[in-house]
Structure 1
Amino acid sequence: MASKDEIIAKAREAIDEFDKEMAEEAAQEAIATGIDPVEIIEKGFTAAMVDVGAQFEQGKLFLPHVLAASEVMNAGIAVLRPEMEKRKAQTESLGKVIVCTIEGDIHSIGKDILVSMLGIAGFDVIDLGRDVACTEIVEKTKEIRPLLVATSALMTTTMVNQIKVEELLKEAGLRDSVKTMVGGAPCTQDWADQIGADIYGESAMDSVSKVKAAVL
């Protein structure tokens, strides 16, 4: 039977090789050997995805690679999810949060990592996906009344839609009852301040700690 370090290494390799079957095998082995799902996600899948993101920013990988890596990570997490849900059932949820990539933007690497990390932290995450219409975000907010709405933008041409979300939430009378967070490569603390967002998430780990501080 493989050791914990070997299984975590296999999870990382699955992302590096864009191999869904390997990711699923690593996840199954983790469950079989009693490894905490959080550990294999953080040290295996998420760590490898951070590397993919860095290579994308350096121009060494391109969008199809990023999307393929995200699909591999999601395949592995899908195997782990029943075990995670079982463990989560033993603890109280910290509350609902909405996460998505903003309208016009199909990049999802940062969003996918954040979804995983917030779920691990104990939040009930509603992942709306990528290229999500601003009106859909507001409608979902109206429906489920989350603690937080987090939007990711990876292009300067799409980050302007984060302003639209702020405006639509105000028009719907929802803005005072929900926190908002913005993130993504072109976003900064100044941008968050400028548009009136409550939180700027510089990274997935940074975002989780800031969300906890803001809503709990």
Structure 2
Amino acid sequence: MSKEEMFKELSDAVITCKNDVVTAAVEKARSEGISAPEIIEKGLAAGMNEVGIRFERGKLFLPHVMMAAGAMEAGVALLEADMPADAASKKLGVIVNGTVEGDVHDIGKSIVSTMLQSAGFEVHDIGRDVPLQNFIDKIKETNANMVGMSALMTTTLGAQKEVIEMLKENGLRDGIKVMVGGAPATEAWAEKIGADCYAENASEAVIKAKELLL
């Protein structure tokens, strides 16, 4: 079996959501001499990315996504001992992610958090209907270098701008990247309020986060 076929088997295993299928695929890849970082990045994370895409297209539902994330975590746990010493502890960045105050929509934001975590970021998901000060407090507490804010209603969209103003008031804006998302948000809105980027979906959020933090 070629490396590419092995990566596809790993990816497909994550999509099945079954821990035993994932761990069997990981053990097989290890026995073939494929490195732990490659197994994670080109196999498991690729599968998780596909799960995210299918969710966004309405082909999968949230329980499937969460089970796939759990299966991927089981596979990653098997590889921790094989990871290079620095890679095991190295995170791509620290991200605080939440849905702004007044907005109880949670699913899209949760998917973004899961996808970012799967991609190697340390993610602190602070939930939905989050008081704006909580974003600031969590950023300070975790020394985050990115904040993600979701708003699914036009009435709560302005809260994204308010948090950016609060970051400036607290002297934090220069040290943190700001990502916004949600149904009423747009690229033009992100530019207008001074955010660093807009992400339309979870897959795009991962791409944009890597572009801004790496």
TM-score, scaled relative to structure 2: 0.72
* 1:183-212 Cα deviation digits (max 9, x unpaired): 567643223213321233461234312333
How has the CA–CA distance of structure 1 residues 94 and 46 changed in structure 2, closer, same or farther, with 3 Å as cutoff?
Answer: closer
* Alpha-carbon distance between aligned partners in 2 of 1:39 and 1:184, rounded to the nearest angstrom: 32
* Alpha-carbon distance between aligned partners in 2 of 1:162 and 1:68, rounded to the nearest angstrom: 30
* Alpha-carbon distance between aligned partners in 1 of 2:177 and 2:66, rounded to the nearest angstrom: 28
SS in 1 for 2:74: helix
Contact (CA 8 Å) 2:94, 2:142: kept in 1 or not? no
Work out whether 1:86 is the aligned partner of 2:94. Answer: no
* Alpha-carbon distance between aligned partners in 1 of 2:162 and 2:19, rounded to the nearest angstrom: 36
* 1:101-155 Cα deviation digits (max 9, x unpaired): 43542443333333343x3xxxxx4311362634443223213433x22315384
| Residue of structure 2 in register with 1:195 after alignment | 193
| Residue of structure 1 in register with 2:171 after alignment | 173
| Residue of structure 1 in register with 2:147 after alignment | 150
Contact (CA 8 Å) 1:182, 1:192: kept in 2 or not? yes
* Alpha-carbon distance between aligned partners in 2 of 1:151 and 1:80, rounded to the nearest angstrom: 29
| Residue of structure 2 in register with 1:137 after alignment | 135
How has the CA–CA distance of structure 1 residues 198 and 155 changed in structure 2, closer, same or farther, with 3 Å as cutoff?
Answer: same
Shift in Å, 1:21: 2.1
How has the CA–CA distance of structure 1 residues 39 and 191 changed in structure 2, closer, same or farther, with 3 Å as cutoff?
Answer: farther
What pairs with 1:1-150 in structure 2 (closer than 5 Å)?
A: 4-84=3-83, 86-88=85-87, 96-103=93-100, 104=104, 105-107=106-108, 108-117=110-119, 119=120, 125-129=121-125, 131=127, 133=130, 134-146=132-144, 148-150=145-147
How has the CA–CA distance of structure 1 residues 155 and 83 changed in structure 2, closer, same or farther, with 3 Å as cutoff?
Answer: farther
Q: Which range moved further: 128-137 or 49-58? A: 128-137
Aligned length: 202
Q: Which range moved further: 100-109 or 155-164? A: 155-164
Contact (CA 8 Å) 1:138, 1:169: kept in 2 or not? yes
C-alpha RMSD of matched pairs (Å): 3.4
Shift in Å, 1:19: 0.6
* Alpha-carbon distance between aligned partners in 1 of 2:44 and 2:187, rounded to the nearest angstrom: 28
Partner amino acid for 2:39?
A: I
TM-score, scaled relative to structure 1: 0.71
| Residue of structure 2 in register with 1:122 after alignment | none
SS in 2 for 1:131: coil
How has the CA–CA distance of structure 1 residues 95 and 40 changed in structure 2, closer, same or farther, with 3 Å as cutoff?
Answer: closer
SS in 1 for 2:171: coil
Runs of 4+ deviating beyond 4 Å: 93-96, 156-159, 183-187
Contact (CA 8 Å) 2:92, 2:122: kept in 1 or not? no
Contact (CA 8 Å) 1:102, 1:159: kept in 2 or not? no
* Alpha-carbon distance between aligned partners in 1 of 2:176 and 2:182, rounded to the nearest angstrom: 20
- Identity among equivalent positions (%) equals 38
* Alpha-carbon distance between aligned partners in 2 of 1:138 and 1:5, rounded to the nearest angstrom: 43
Shift in Å, 1:180: 1.9
